[in-house]
């Protein structure tokens, strides 16, 4: 399937590239930015066939190639020393290894073994091999929120325990369907681990269980990526993660808890209706989780292009425009298309590239589409630390992310006041003179 998708994407790319109407622009620079062209690019790059543009993935490489092909068509210049449009980043990819990762329920001399990633999943990053073994404590929803009159933990001793909790879809009208309730649900694994548990096993909702059953779905594992070439950045140090959290299919959960499937269904019904279920230590059994790690090296690309400045002296200064072209891939069988985040910024930069070729600014403009943003700002960190031009020659940087988030005539502005005494004033002047957007500073927060 993947091969035929790749082929059809490539043929469409050739068709688009051959369609000169989209490469030349008509009229003035501003007029060359059109809704039609934005929609054309975005409908393509956010299509299901791009599988959510995960880092690293063949689909993200095709996205990179699409961007490079377009800017080559617009007449921009490559900026990498080897004349390429691609700043290649070699990535160490670390994740749990299905062949060496398993969950075993021990009951007396009997043991039942479950497989990763079909019977259970590991939703968080894990970079270290290891093993945990402990007695089981069933903690209902795992929520400890006495203020909301919901407390599954109370005075239970969780030290050294493997804590099992339910993860139902919380319907409207449920006592926990409030902002505080949802926050308590989100934070429960952390709270349970801080109370001394060695792992939290979450039983997936009935809806997710049905989707696994119907589509033979596997759990999506969380990969950890870090550039092979270590970056010299305090902010961006390489980190290690050990196992602490798993998600269980219902058959795995019934074995761990020593109950029947209909008893588990009954508990989901009960908590779904807003009632707490009885919590307790589960005697006579222990759970062991062994995690093996696999590592490999893959490549991904920042796409880098330049519009040379029109002024003989100022063209040696640069303004950088950036956006990330990666997204989050496929989660739980669903393609996360990322049209807004950040298909919108990605295609806006294509249209801006085209416009800048019609009316060149005095300074040179570098356009960079970053990879790996969703995996921890990898592409932007790499670009700054391995910049193809002297960083001191960069006068300003404008990054675009999720342009479709708010009203069409307003923009969130973040950071323009932080590093420069002039940048924000310039942005406001230009805005007043030309487009008159509402500039919204609500995310300009120190934290
Ligand atoms: Zn984003």
Domain-located, residue 274: yes
CA of 119 to the centre of ligand 1 (A): 32
Mean pLDDT along residues 399-428: 90
What would the pLDDT profile of 81-118 be if each residue is shown by its tens digit?
A: 999 999 999 999 999 999 999 999 999 999 999 999 99
CA of 254 to the centre of ligand 1 (A): 39
CA of 231 to the centre of ligand 1 (A): 22
Same domain, 220 and 272: yes
CA of 328 to the centre of ligand 1 (A): 10
Res 12: pLDDT: 39
The pTM score is 0.83
Same domain, 71 and 158: no
d(CA 303, CA 287): 47
Mean pLDDT along residues 179-190: 95
Domain-located, residue 429: no
Q: Is the pLDDT of residue 22 over 80?
A: no
Res 3: pLDDT: 42
Mean pLDDT along residues 198-216: 94
- Last residue in a domain, options 291, 323, 344: 291
CA of 341 to the centre of ligand 1 (A): 5
Same domain, 83 and 104: no
Do residues 344 and 293 touch, judged by C-beta distance below 8 A?
Answer: no
Res 111: pLDDT: 96
Residues, CB-to-ion distance under 5 Å, ligand 1: 341-342, 401
Q: Is the pLDDT of residue 247 over 70?
A: yes
Collect all residues with Cβ–Cβ distance below 8 Å to 416 and sequence separation of at least 6.
423, 424, 427, 444
Q: Which two tokens stand for residue 447?
A: 């934290």
Domain-located, residue 443: no
CA of 400 to the centre of ligand 1 (A): 8
CA of 413 to the centre of ligand 1 (A): 14
Same domain, 112 and 66: no
Q: Is the pLDDT of residue 347 over 70?
A: yes
- CATH assignment at residue 114: 3.50.30
Q: Is the pLDDT of residue 411 over 70?
A: yes
Which of helix, strand or coil describes residue 383?
Answer: helix
Same domain, 275 and 306: no
Q: Please count the structural domains in the chain.
A: 2
- CATH assignment at residue 388: 3.40.630.10
Same domain, 83 and 132: no
CA of 401 to the centre of ligand 1 (A): 5
Do residues 318 and 366 touch, judged by C-beta distance below 8 A?
Answer: yes
Burial of 361 (0-12, 13-18, 19+ CB in 10 A): middle
Query: Which helix or strand (DSSP H or E) is residue 304 part of?
Result: strand 293-307
Would you tell me the crossing angle of helices 2-17 and 35-45 to the nearest 10 degrees? Answer: 160
CA of 373 to the centre of ligand 1 (A): 7
Range of the structural domain that residue 159 is part of:
98-291
CA of 323 to the centre of ligand 1 (A): 8
What mean pLDDT value characterizes the chain? Answer: 92
Same domain, 162 and 24: no
Same domain, 123 and 68: no
Name the residue among 282, 290, 332, 284 with its Cα closest to residue 164.
282
- Last residue in a domain, options 250, 272, 291: 291
């Amino acid at each position: 399937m993947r091969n035929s998708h790749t082929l059809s994407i490539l043929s469409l790319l050739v068709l688009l590239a051959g369609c000169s109407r989209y490469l030349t622009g008509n009229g003035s620079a501003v007029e060359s930015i059109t809704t039609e062209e934005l929609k054309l690019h975005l409908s393509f790059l956010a299509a299901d066939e791009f599988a959510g543009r995960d880092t690293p993935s063949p689909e993200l490489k095709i996205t990179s190639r699409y961007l490079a092909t377009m800017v080559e068509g617009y007449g921009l210049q490559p900026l990498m020393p080897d004349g390429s449009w691609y700043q290649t980043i070699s990535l160490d990819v670390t994740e749990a290894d299905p062949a060496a990762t398993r969950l075993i329920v021990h009951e007396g001399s009997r043991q039942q073994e479950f497989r990763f990633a079909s019977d259970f999943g590991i939703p968080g990053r894990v970079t270290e091999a290891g093993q945990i073994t402990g007695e089981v404590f069933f903690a209902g929803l795992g929520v400890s929120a006495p203020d909301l009159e919901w407390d599954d933990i109370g005075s239970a001793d969780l030290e050294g325990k493997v804590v099992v909790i339910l993860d139902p879809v919380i319907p409207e009208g449920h006592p926990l369907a409030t902002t505080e309730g949802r926050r308590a649900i989100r934070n429960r694994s952390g709270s349970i681990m801080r109370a001394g548990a060695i792992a939290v096993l979450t039983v997936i909702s009935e809806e997710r269980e049905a989707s696994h059953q119907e589509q033979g779905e596997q759990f999506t594992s969380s990969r950890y990526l870090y550039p092979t070439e270590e970056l010299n950045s305090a902010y961006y140090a390489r980190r290690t993660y050990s196992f602490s959290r798993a998600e269980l299919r219902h058959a795995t959960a019934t074995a761990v808890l020593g109950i029947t499937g209909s008893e588990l269904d009954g508990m989901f019904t009960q908590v779904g209706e807003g009632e707490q279920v009885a919590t307790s230590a589960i005697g006579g059994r222990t759970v062991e989780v062994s995690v093996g790690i696999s590592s490999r090296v893959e490549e991904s690309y920042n796409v880098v292009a330049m519009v040379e400045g029109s002024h003989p002296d100022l063209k040696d200064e640069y303004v950088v425009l950036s956006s990330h072209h990666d997204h989050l891939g496929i989660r739980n069988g669903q393609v996360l298309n990322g049209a807004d985040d950040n298909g919108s910024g990605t295609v806006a930069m294509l249209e801006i590239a085209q416009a800048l070729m019609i009316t060149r600014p005095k300074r040179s403009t570098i356009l960079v589409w970053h990879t790996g943003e969703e995996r921890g700002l990898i592409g932007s960190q790499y670009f700054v630390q391995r910049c193809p031009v002297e960083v001191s020659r960069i006068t300003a940087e404008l990054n675009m992310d999720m342009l479709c988030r708010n009203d069409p005539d307003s923009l969130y502005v973040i950071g323009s006041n932080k590093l420069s005494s002039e940048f924000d004033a310039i942005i406001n002047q230009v805005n007043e003179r030309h487009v008159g957007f509402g500039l919204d500073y609500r995310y300009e927060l120190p934290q």
